[in-house]
Amino acid sequence: MKRVVVTGLGAVSACGIGADTLWRSAREGDSGVRPVLFEALQDVQRVGIAARLSDEDRATVLETAGHRMRDPVASYAVTAAREAVAQAGLSEKDFGDRCGVCIGSGFGGGKTLDDNYMAFGRDHKARLDPMSVPKIMNNAAASWVSMEFGATGPLYCAATACSSATQSIGLALHLLRAGVVDRMLAGGAEACLEAGVFRVWELLRVMTAQVNRPFSRDRNGMTLGEGAAVLVLETLESAQERGAEILCELGGYATNSDAGDLLRPDPARATACMKAALSDAGLDAGQIGYVNAHGTGTVANDVTEVSALRAVFGDDLGNTLVSSTKPIHGHALGAAGALEAVVAIGALRNQIAPPTINFNEVDPKINLDPVANTAREINAEAVMSNSLAFGGINASLIFAKHA
Amino acid sequence: MADGNENLAKSIMELVAREGMVDAAEMSPDARLEDLDIQSADFVMILMAIEEEYGAYISVDNELSDVETVQDLLDLVVGKIEAQRAAESG
């Protein structure tokens, strides 16, 4: 089985443009959450914050990667992919049939969808955007990335809610190990901060109207985010042949499903998933120095995930530090696993666990100190990143130092 | 004020019965929501109706995790509505 390495990273998020910007924000606890008000939700909007791109960053992305046939979600993905490809030093000959693309999205073209609903339902217009179908479809971001570089290998798009990006990276790992391709551009993209989408999240009542505080006793729900992140993944041989700088190895991956409740997570299945990822990576729990938790800041997630973490890493979690960086970059749904993979890789390469900011008080229900508020040094051979999605999907990635 | 709250509590109890699809006769302050078969999806409907009628936003989270009986839910909702009214008048 082929070993797989990471040679490039790219990200666009509320923290700014660039994978390094995202990592530095995570390490410093510098949040991209800002006030967000929708004109179409006047008088009804109850939650007034989200981790949205700054107006300046969004304008830059749309100017440099915009296209009349692209929803912003695809522009985010193309921007992240350009950065990752540049860092990896890939050139024209490195694409073609031996390079695939695997970029997930939960909502696809959210702005196009929302604009159309408003035009059709509110304004009774029959003349909608004629390019709506190719702009809304979930795989558009992946397809635009493939066209950008001439990556003509397999193209996939996992549309598995909050696990879309983690599963996309995992699927890319499987294709690379099997020798189907030499390299993959893998990650996730989401641009769902539009009035209609935001309103239905409000109605599901899993968002906090105050501050996102994962694992804190006074937590009260999540904060939505958006963005995209893309990883260049290659077989070790491919990277060595090109003389590429290897950032780390993608050592393991597992995914499973609860086959239980659509929304309520099952700790036993999250436990099984993390254990399977460890086994896939050939590592013991004690070798994982840091876990970037799914950590949404809802009571259902916090209790489930911590119980699963204790079942995997021991009651005292051993030397494994756990934090959630969602209060910094928001819960970016289909992009979440990719943004958090960038953060987890930053933690591994810098040997620093980024903090869970906004933390007030240990919750006696879970009794966890999640690297509260300030980053800490770690001694980690490997790190893990979890995504636990609606639909009962669990997915865990393990990144390891390249030796 | 006490009378006002009593009326409010009565209205909310009716709302919970309606949105939770529970026979109003079975509703009592001591009744456990679990025994009334009010589940997580029902909470979403109940809390949406509360937002529509009273303008108070309650997330299905920490605050609800300790709610076991109809009275617990009434206390939470009445408190939120009062806070909302105070915020609006303040």
How does pLDDT run across A39-90, given as a tens digit for each residue?
999 989 999 999 999 999 999 999 999 999 999 999 999 999 999 999 999 9
Contact B59 A207 (CB under 8 A): yes
Q: A135-149, A330-344, B17-31 — which is least confidently predicted?
A: B17-31
pLDDT of A358 higher than 50 = yes
C-beta separation of A370 from A324 below 8 A: yes
A174 is catalytic: no
A162 is catalytic: yes
C-beta separation of A25 from A327 below 8 A: no
Mean pLDDT of A148-171: 98
CA distance A366 to chain B (A): 13
Least CB-CB distance to B44: which of A47, A205, A219?
A205
pLDDT tens digits along B16-67: 999 988 988 888 899 999 899 887 778 888 999 999 999 899 988 888 888 9
Closest of A309, A216, A206, A209 to residue A264, by C-alpha: A206
Least CB-CB distance to B40: which of A203, A221, A264?
A264
A329 is catalytic: no
Q: How far apart are CA A312 and CA A320, in angstroms?
A: 11
Q: How far apart are CA A251 and CA A329, in angstroms?
A: 25
Contact A263 B40 (CB under 8 A): yes
Choosing from A102, A157, A162, A273, the catalytic residue is A162
Contact B62 A299 (CB under 8 A): yes
Q: How far apart are CA A31 and CA A318, in angstroms?
A: 29
In chain B, the residue whose alpha carbon lies closest to the alpha carbon of A208 is B59
Contact A205 B58 (CB under 8 A): yes
Q: Where are the beta strands (DSSP E) in A258-362?
A: 288-292, 321-323, 352-353
pLDDT of the residue at B1: 45
Q: Would you state the structure tokens that stand for residue A115, as one six-digit string?
A: 């604009």
Least CB-CB distance to B60: which of A47, A206, A219?
A206
Mutate one of A44, A204, A205, A304 to test the B interface: name it (highest B CB count within 10 A). Answer: A205
Contact B59 A208 (CB under 8 A): yes
- Band the pLDDT of A328: cuts 50, 70, 90: very high
* β-strand pairing of A155-156 with A99-104: parallel
C-beta separation of A372 from A360 below 8 A: no
pLDDT of the residue at B84: 86
Choosing from A15, A273, A294, A329, the catalytic residue is A294
Closest of B39, B37, B49 to residue B13, by C-alpha: B49
Mean pLDDT of A164-171: 98
Q: How far apart are CA A77 and CA A148, in angstroms?
A: 11
B26-43 per-residue burial string, b: 16 or more CB within 10 A, e: under 16? eeeeebebeebebeeebb
Mutate one of B42, B48, B59 to test the A interface: name it (highest A CB count within 10 A). Answer: B59
pTM assigned to the model: 0.94
pLDDT tens digits along A209-246: 999 999 999 999 999 999 999 999 999 999 999 999 99
Q: Would you state the structure tokens that stand for residue A271, as one six-digit string?
A: 């436990």
- DSSP state for residue A53 in the 8-state scheme: P
Mean pLDDT of A270-278: 98
Read off φ and ψ for residue A255, nearest 5 degrees.
-145, 145
